[in-house]
Each structure stands twice: as structure tokens, then as C-alpha cells.
Amino acid sequence: MKWENLLDTNALSIRIMVKNHSNPFTLTNVMRVMMLLSLCLPSLLSQANAGDRPNIVLILCDDLGYADVGFNAKQFGVNTDVVTPNIDSIASKGTIFSQAYVAHPFCGPSRMALLSGRMPHCFGGQKNLPDVAKNLRDYNEKGIPESETLISTVLHNSGYRTACIGKWHLGDAKPFHPNSRGFDEFFGFLGGGHQYYPSITDKVEPKVNDYQFYLQRNREDSKSPEGAYLTDMLTDEASKFITQSVAADEPFFLYLAYNAPHSPLQGKTEDLKFLYPDHKPSNPQNGINFQDYEKRQNYVAMVYAVDRGVGQLFKTLNDPNQDQDTADSVVNNTLVVFLSDNGGKILQAGNNAPLMDDKGSTHEGGIRVPMFMHWPGKLPVGQVFEHPVLALDLYPTFAGLASAEIPDNKMLDGEDIWADLKEGRNPHRDETIFWLRHHGGGNEIAIRHGDLKAYRKNFGNWQVFDVTSDVGESSDLAKANSNFLKQRIPEGASWAKTHLEPQWHDTEGSLKSWIENDMPKYDESFALKSPQISAAITEPPKRQAPTDWTKAEYIAVEKIKWKKNGWRWNLSKVESNFAEIDTNNDGIASGKERQAWFANKKGN
């Protein structure tokens, strides 16, 4: 008997055509069919599953002010001069987040947290990597640890095409390069910033800082076209990647990290002329360029270029092959997330109204950022999600949507928030959220639980703010919330014990200050004594043995266990269990107490 097997992967069918009328159902032939199925079905099912998984586009701005996109300024009633029609239109068709937080108030550490899903302090990444041109100590050979599996690797290993376009700032050496960390494609720059007309700096020799280096395409230097504007170059590369991915019929993850509106403030000439047609240059013989405009005018033009880029990306998603036919549109199967790496920098023309402070601070102005998500038919349209969400949540959320496997030993500090977004629930209702940055000889700390946030800078008084009703942190509620501080400060102290010291410093002066000030000074930073609360606060419980756990430590261990087992986190249940374990009410779950509790549970 002759058999001919046709595999149609598009229709997911195997057609076995019998060439004669003899009985095909012999044992031999049935075994042949089963063998074919066993070989083909895994691949076919994988392709079917890929069709259900969304493309993911993560757009990150650099130092974008809280009120420097129209959709965010509008929700807080802030007058703004920014022009962002594309971003605002897309945000209005998706879900806007009024309480979106990054993990750290400045560049490198925030990005490391975003892509690793971990607080950067846990692996010593809480300071910016230095300018490579400084050749500072051995820091050029350092970067985000290889032990941290990035979300790009997780998605790549699950069958996604991956690209990083724009700013990296996670390390220059080969082990830390984007192409070594899960990205198939890279175009951009590895350091902390760049000039916006790179063809000019291409000609500069010697190159004395990162901002003058050639752009890179994968691992090779790439010379820029004469007069090309960097924001537009990044947009064009991102659009090209989308087109190629759709043509390849593969799901894709695009990480588009604009460096705008980070300094240097260099607007595109055409944008400046369009936005400020009545502007008269102070020195006309130099022609019209960014040097003839004020800081804020350049800043607004730079954001306008980002807006134009976001608009172009959506046009590409809607018509990937650009044939004026949207039959190949992937908009409805693409999740787009837009946010900033930290707050705007006021001295560089950023506007964080109505928030307190700016980039570098753990006040809201440094860590609370504009954010929206867009995915037609999958997310509420035109709604504001009014609960806290973290940039740390994106890693597990993306992995969940992609049905991607996270390594068993991978630690994550965020949550898969997808179900909560769809149901309008607070994904961090019972959790305590921490921020800390090293500040000279001290630390700036923020601890949020519920609507209240404790704040302290460099050994000053602890303050408490209700950051839902008082987003500007203008009313200190510490005196009325001494019990809140009594709970939160020991939690912060326990959290700080999980930190490593910085594995690099951005300047020699920073390293010298660290040593001379005997940093990190966590015992002093998390001291309970303060004039407003000293009467209400007692010292934290003291362990008698290494196996003894404070309440905060017990909760941290349980949280890891619950995540690993796929259980929905229930802080109230865990706190109730701790109260049962702590039979002598000393605030410690000793090893003996835990053993007795487990034995009792097992017996019952």
C-alpha cells in the first residue's frame, strides 16, 4: 500500500490519502499515523498557541514629566503646553493608570528593575553605571548580573521575536549587551544618553563621553545619516521590526526605549518651527535650530517627536506592510504599554504637577509616572485604573499573557496583575511597597501601604502622606499615624537586609562619599525614634536564633512560596497564621514555634 502524507500547518491538519481501496486500518498503518501525529502535533499546537498570544510593545520615555502628556495633565486638571495628540488618542482608547510607580527614581536602576522584575538593590544595581569613556575602575566590565533572567529572555525562549530599540544603560560589556540578554535585534546606544543629531557626534574625535559614541546595530557601530534626528531614527527602526515580525508570522516583543525628553534639550528644527511659528531667533545668521529656543520649548518639541513616533508605530501595527490595506493589521492582537522610567527633571524643563519634587526623589514626583495600556477588546476602554501598579508587575504580567515559562529559581518582586486590571481590583491591596535611593551620606526612603506613605530623607523626621487624596504630599499626617509608622519602619528595615551594596558607582566622588560616610547606614535610616512618634513606638522584636523570623521576614518567605505554588496572595491569611505561630506574642516566629504549628496543622 502506498501512502502520501500532506502536512498543512496553516489549517492544522494531517491528511492521509489512501491510494487504493485496501483496508488502511492495519496495525502497521495505524502505527504510522500515530508516529506522524507525535512528530507533528507539538509543532502544530505551538503554532496554534502562538496565535493566541499577544504581541507586546513596551514604550519607555526618559525623564518624562507627570503633566507632560495631555492625557495625564487632563486627569489632574493641570494646564500644559505639551502637544501629544497621538498619545492622548491612543490612551483614551485604552486604560490609563493614575497610580503607576517605577522601582527607582532615576535611569539605570529603574530600567534594570523593569526588565528583571526585581528591585535593583537586591543585586547591587541601585546606582547608575558610569560613563564608559571615564574607564572608572573595573565598572566597564559590570552590568545587570547574568543570574537575573530578563523578560526578553523569557519571551525569546517562548518563541517571540525580540528587539531593543533605543537606550540600554544596563551594561556595555558582552555579557550585559542586549544581544546577550534575550534580544534578537538591537539598535541604539548602550550608555545613559546621547546627542539627538548623532551624525554630528559621529565626526567628533576623540570621543570623551557616551553621548558622542556611534550608535550600534547589534554589536557593530553604525554611522548615522547626515541630519537624521535620533527620536525619528528609533521610531523608524521600531516600525521596521514590526513589519518584519508580522511578515515572519511570529509574535514579537518590542522594547522601544526613547531617550527623549532626557537632556541634552535638542528639539528637531522642523518641530520647533511648527510649534513656535512666531518665534524669532536671537541670532538669525546661525539659522533656526534648538540653540535659539528656550529649554521648555525644546522639551515640548522633543515630546512632540515622541508623540509623532507613537502615532507612526500604530500606523505600522494597523498596516504592517504599508500597502494601504489593513487586512494584515495586528492592532487587535497587540498589547501596548507606555510609561516613563522616572519623573521629569524640573531643572531640565520637566513638569511634574501636581506631584511633589522630581527625578531622583522618592516623593511622588520621582517615582510616580504617566502610564497607559492599550489592547482592543481585552482591556477597558476610556477608563482610569485608580489602584497602584508597579513597573515590576510588567514582567510577570507579560510572561503570563505570553504563556511563557519563568525559570523556577527566578525571583520576582511584582505580580501578574492582568486579572486585577480586567476586574478593577487593587493588585497590591495588602502589600507594602518600598523605595530607597542613596543620597550622599544618607538615604531617601518611601514606604507605602494602602493609601498612606511614610517618607524620610537623610535622617530627618519621618513624615506620612495620604497619596490618594493629597498627591502633592502637602499635609504631613505623621502625628495622627504613629501606629502606621510603628508597623512600616520595621518592615523597611527587614527589606533593607535583602540589599547588596552598590556593585558600581557613577563617579569617583560617589564612591569616595560612600566610603567616607560609612554607608549604607540602614540602622540609622530606619531608626524608629523621631520627635513625632517616639512616645508611641517600641523597639522591634529581637531574634534569639538564626531560624527565628520577624513578622516581615515570615511574610516575605510566605510570599515567595505562594507565588511559586500559583496561589492568589492573601496577606490577611498569612498574618493570621503568624499570629497563631507566635504563641508567646514576642513578634517572632521561632523555629520551634513554627514546627509546633505545622505539627498541629498536620494532626488536624
Give the model's pLDDT for residue 227: 94
Strands across the sheet with 55-61, in order?
A: 220-222, 215-217, 185-189, 161-167, 252-257, 55-61, 334-340, 371-374, 95-97, 383-385
- Quick check: 211 and 201 in contact, CB under 8 A? yes
Rounded to the nearest 10 degrees, how much is the dihedral formed by the CA atoms of 226, 264, 506, 491? -130
DSSP label at residue 480: G
- Indicate if the pLDDT at residue 563 is higher than 80: no
For the chain, how far is it from start to end, CA to CA, in angstroms? 65
Question: Percentage of the chain surpassing pLDDT 70?
Answer: 87
- In tens, the pLDDT along 189-245 reads 999 999 999 999 999 999 999 999 999 999 999 999 999 999 999 999 999 999 999
Give the CATH architecture of domain 432-525: 2-Layer Sandwich (3.30)
- In tens, the pLDDT along 569-594 reads 777 788 888 888 988 888 888 888 88
- Indicate if the pLDDT at residue 20 is higher than 50: no
Average pLDDT over residues 507-523: 95
Peptide bond preceding 206 in cis form (omega within 30 of 0): yes
Peptide bond preceding 225 in cis form (omega within 30 of 0): no
- Quick check: 94 and 375 in contact, CB under 8 A? yes
| Nearest CA among 604, 581, 42, 97 for reference residue 387 | 97
Please tell me the distance from the alpha carbon of residue 87 to that of residue 101, in angstroms, as a whole number. 19
Give the model's pLDDT for residue 52: 82
The CATH 3.40.720.10 portion of the chain extends over: 53-423
- In tens, the pLDDT along 345-387 reads 999 999 999 999 999 999 999 999 999 999 999 999 999 999 9
Give the model's pLDDT for residue 182: 98
53-423, CATH topology level: Alkaline Phosphatase, subunit A (3.40.720)
- Quick check: 292 and 283 in contact, CB under 8 A? yes
The CATH 3.30.1120.10 portion of the chain extends over: 432-525
- Indicate if the pLDDT at residue 416 is higher than 80: yes
Helices and strands (H, E) in the chain, number of each type: 18, 21
pTM for the model stands at 0.84
